[in-house]
Amino acid sequence: MAKVAVVFADGCEEVEGLSVVDVLRRLNIQTDMVGLTSQDVMGDHQIKLTCDKVVDDSLLDYDLVAFPGGMTGSANLRDNQKLRDLMVKRHEIGKWDAAMCAAPRALARYGVLADADYTVFPGLDRETKKDAPTGNFKENITVTDQKHKVLTSRGPATAWAFAYAIAETLGVDTKELKHTMLYDYLADNIKESL
């Protein structure tokens, strides 16, 4: 069974991280909430989160590590040397890494986006292109780069798409849950409401 860690830093976008945890746990994927420096994390919208554990070397054991965004949260992820070292090791041994919204800038700074296809929150591609000049920025809702084992997404409204893409990357069938959660209904009808 696949194991996923979602790393939460102070200032994170709560909906992005919790959407991933919620969807993956509904799919019976072991998913741990991991605090960057503490089990208690204060989100960007003043929602207090209590994580299962704190970042340590066990991050190397997860099949996929995911980062929610948020400008402050992603900066905290980007600038943490311990996390950077672990993520570089993960990348070197061929493990999956995922980030959404502003958090792909952390992966870019770590060197994980070198030569990879990715997306990021609108406008932050200027920063990621500077830190990962050989990366290939795309404007898709989610981007899965099989070769480099990187999965990225755009922002809060794409959190469910990101969560389902993570599950599918891990080989889990999401069709029934998409229907149960009305995701397929939303996807089919969103254009009509615009």
Domains of the chain (ranges; CATH) run: 3-193 (3.40.50.880)
Give the C-alpha separation, 17 to 19, whole Å: 6
Confidence of residue 1 (pLDDT cuts 50, 70, 90): confident
Kindly state the average pLDDT of the residues 180-184.
94
With H, G, I as helix, E, B as strand and everything else as coil, classify residue 151: strand
Interacting residues of 23 by C-beta distance below 8 A, sequence separation 6+: 160, 163, 164, 166, 167, 177, 181
Q: Specify the higher pLDDT residue, 138 or 1.
A: 138
158 touches 68 (CB < 8 A):
no
Other C-beta atoms lying within 10 Å of the C-beta of residue 64: 24
Which residue in 169, 170, 152 sits closest to 68, CA to CA? 152
Mean pLDDT of all residues in 91-100: 98
Pair of tokens at residue 129? 């292109």
User: What is the 8-class DSSP label of residue 132?
Assistant: -
Give the global pTM.
0.97
Structure-token pair, residue 133:
């000049």
User: Which residue is listed with tokens 């994580």?
Assistant: 51
> Are 153 and 17 within 8 A, CB to CB?
no
Asked whether 4 and 66 are in contact (CB, 8 A), the reply is yes
